[in-house]
Structure 1
Amino acid sequence: MGSGSTLAQRALGRELRRLRNAKGMGQSQAARIAETSHQTIGRIEEGQTTRITQLQVNALCDKYGATGEERRICLDLVKEIRASREGKVTASWWRAYADAQATGFNHYLALEDAASRLTIWKTAIMPGLLQTPAYRRTMAWTEYPDMPIDHLERQIEWQTHRQERLMDPNLQVTVFVYETLLYEQVGGPAVFDEQLQQLVSLAVLPNVCIRVVRFAASSHLGAYAGNFTLLEFPDLVSGLPQPPIVYVEGWTGDLYLEREAELQRYMQALREIDRVALTEAESVALIKERMR
């Protein structure tokens, strides 16, 4: 089965589980609505390979009180799963939902929220998960200078809420940044100094590790790989492992990679980045030096 199908199954399962929980229903109730077993509902919500029809999804959406947009997303995911199984080439559906935070659904965020470990490599621009509101505001206006202020402030509020996940001890976060990021005067000295202070403060958290790769570091694959995030997940309730995903964020579209050969290349890049990066203590000391 194609990568797209696996991703769509994961996304559909998480969205249906979110809607069910919001309604306060159990899996047995959902099973009666969809005329299937609660074990099947469990497999669907875990993103496992399970047949589910548009009729079943519509019935669940009816009882869950889904909005029109939430229903459309779920049905589009069913179509994506079917198209992938049939070998049809379809557009990357997740790109169409990049601004759909209002519906409670965004593909990357669903994956990030479910992850137990994030490993991030950035050669330019601070990772969104670590950005201060002022830094994020500057970047947003740079990319979208005509963005209405109220829309931007909603984004800032959403981003701040997203960062609450960093306080979750069940999430391990390792961030590798190229030294360039310590010299980008985004928003001017005051904004950038605040951003560097944020890095120092977050590095204190026991589940967050921030490490810098210096300009003088020996040659490594990170220079070729570009920015990416490795997302790893806890085992399913059934005990089955969930394969990791490499997320490559692009300006006009994103990639979600989970084929074994692709994963191995990025993991090799991470091993080399880890080899040449400063230690946590050395990295924090360097960040503080840049602040001074």
Structure 2
Amino acid sequence: MRDDELSDASALRFLVGSALKAARTSARVTQQAAAKHIGFTSGKLSYMESGETAQSADHVAQLMRLYNAPAEDVEWVVSLAVRADHGVLSTRNDDVWPDWFKLYVGLEKLAQRQFEYTNSFFPGQLQTLDYATAVVGDSLHIPAKDVAQTARARIDRQRVADDDKPLQISAVVEESVLDRPFGGPTVMIEQFEHVLELMTLPNIDLRVIPTAVGNHDGLSNPFILLNFTDARGIAYIEYHTGALYLQERADVDLYALIADRLTDRALSAEDTASAIQSRIMKMKNME
């Protein structure tokens, strides 16, 4: 993937805006005072902090310095603003994604590392086309006519096998994911074999957390952590009609701690592979 393919302006603006708001809050500067400092109205600064409007590098630098942010923070936030100002990479299949999810797609393209905890299905980065089709095939949010394109869009987003900059992905899935028969035995066997092959890659770490573990930190909701080379991480939590994008340091640190605790309670990579192999044998006996 070329560097110019990483520039999704809406995602970058979100990162810039979140960083500006976090720095302002930490400095205890009111939005009104910050806006006056750069000749903005409070409303215009609010749009800037939400990433809904373009952010000039000069204004970003002025604000970060007003907030007495460390020099390295000023540098990376300004560099992101410069990149966002250089153009937009239109994401493919935009017409089948809701607006709130398009932002995630842009952020995912920028991420260097991703952690995902899921209790329903394998992470999208690890899915086969037939499995993805079965996952989205009975969704209230996706019209039947868009199912094939939506599934293909999920496959097109995959970066785990990218030759240049593969996504580093760690994932913990509930044991129930192995027993939820999306698409039937043939589709599941193909998915299992695909996952086992991906697990041989150095950038993939997949673990199963046994049902026998009982209560644990992830049960309240699935989540994704995205980490970037040039910015602080983001925690992403999806619900039926939208998603939360958390970038406050305390929030991200909490989800990072949960990710570590889930990984500790999950099976080893070797035992996870054995659990998947046992499902393959079970499925083949059903055919």
TM range (shorter): 0.5 to 0.7
Q: Is the 8 A contact 1:220 1:269 kept in 2?
A: no
Residue aligning to 2:193: 197
Superposed CA deviations along residues 114-169 of structure 1, whole A, max 9, x for unmatched, are 111101111112211112111111222211598354x3333233222212443355
Q: CA deviation at 1:170?
A: 4.6
SS of 1:185's equivalent?
A: coil
Query: Which of residues 216, 241, 245 in structure 1 aligns to 2:234?
Result: 245
Query: Which of residues 5, 8, 19 in structure 1 aligns to 2:51?
Result: 8
CA distance in 1, matches of 2:110, 2:238: 18
Q: Cα RMSD over matched residues?
A: 3.4
In 2 relative to 1, CA 121–253 (structure 1 residues): closer, same or farther, beyond 3 Å?
same
**1:189 is aligned with what amino acid?**
P
Moved over 4 A (4+): 3-7, 42-45
Residue aligning to 1:20: none
Residue aligning to 1:46: 80
CA distance in 2, matches of 1:123, 1:113: 23
CA distance in 2, matches of 1:223, 1:266: 13
SS of 1:211's equivalent?
A: strand
Q: Is the 8 A contact 1:218 1:276 kept in 2?
A: no
Question: Aligned pair 1:229/2:236, yes or no?
Answer: no
Q: How does 1:157-236 map to 2 (within 5 A)?
A: 157-168=152-163, 169-217=165-213, 219-224=215-220, 226-235=221-230
Superposed CA deviations along residues 189-225 of structure 1, whole A, max 9, x for unmatched, are 111221111211111111111111011126421223x
Structure 1 unmatched ranges of 5 or more: 14-41, 71-94, 100-105, 236-241
CA distance in 2, matches of 1:130, 1:192: 13
CA distance in 2, matches of 1:206, 1:142: 34
SS of 1:166's equivalent?
A: coil
Residue aligning to 1:287: 276
Q: CA deviation at 1:47?
A: 3.5
SS of 1:2's equivalent?
A: helix
Q: How does 1:140-151 map to 2 (within 5 A)?
A: 140-144=136-140, 147-149=143-145, 151=146
Q: Is the 8 A contact 1:12 1:45 kept in 2?
A: no
CA distance in 1, matches of 2:131, 2:212: 27
How many percent identity over aligned positions? Answer: 25
Query: Which of residues 254, 264, 271 in structure 2 aligns to 1:275?
Result: 264
SS of 1:167's equivalent?
A: coil
CA distance in 2, matches of 1:109, 1:269: 23
Superposed CA deviations along residues 226-265 of structure 1, whole A, max 9, x for unmatched, are 2111111113xxxxxx110001122211110111221122
CA distance in 2, matches of 1:129, 1:156: 12
Question: Aligned pair 1:111/2:107, yes or no?
Answer: yes
CA distance in 1, matches of 2:125, 2:54: 24
In 2 relative to 1, CA 195–261 (structure 1 residues): closer, same or farther, beyond 3 Å?
same
**2:21 is aligned with what amino acid?**
G
CA distance in 2, matches of 1:190, 1:12: 48
CA distance in 2, matches of 1:43, 1:212: 37
Q: How many residues align?
A: 213
CA distance in 1, matches of 2:255, 2:154: 27
Q: Is the 8 A contact 2:207 2:267 kept in 1?
A: yes
Q: CA deviation at 1:171?
A: 2.6
Taking structure 1 as the reference length, the TM-score comes to 0.63
CA distance in 2, matches of 1:170, 1:146: 29
Q: Is the 8 A contact 1:229 1:247 kept in 2?
A: yes
Superposed CA deviations along residues 77-108 of structure 1, whole A, max 9, x for unmatched, are xxxxxxxxxxxxxxxxxx95257xxxxxx211
**1:47 is aligned with what amino acid?**
A
CA distance in 2, matches of 1:12, 1:201: 42
SS of 2:81's equivalent?
A: coil
SS of 1:119's equivalent?
A: strand
Q: How does 1:79-94 map to 2 (within 5 A)?
A: none
Q: How does 1:116-155 map to 2 (within 5 A)?
A: 116-144=112-140, 147-149=143-145, 151-155=146-150
Residue aligning to 1:262: 251
CA distance in 2, matches of 1:204, 1:243: 29
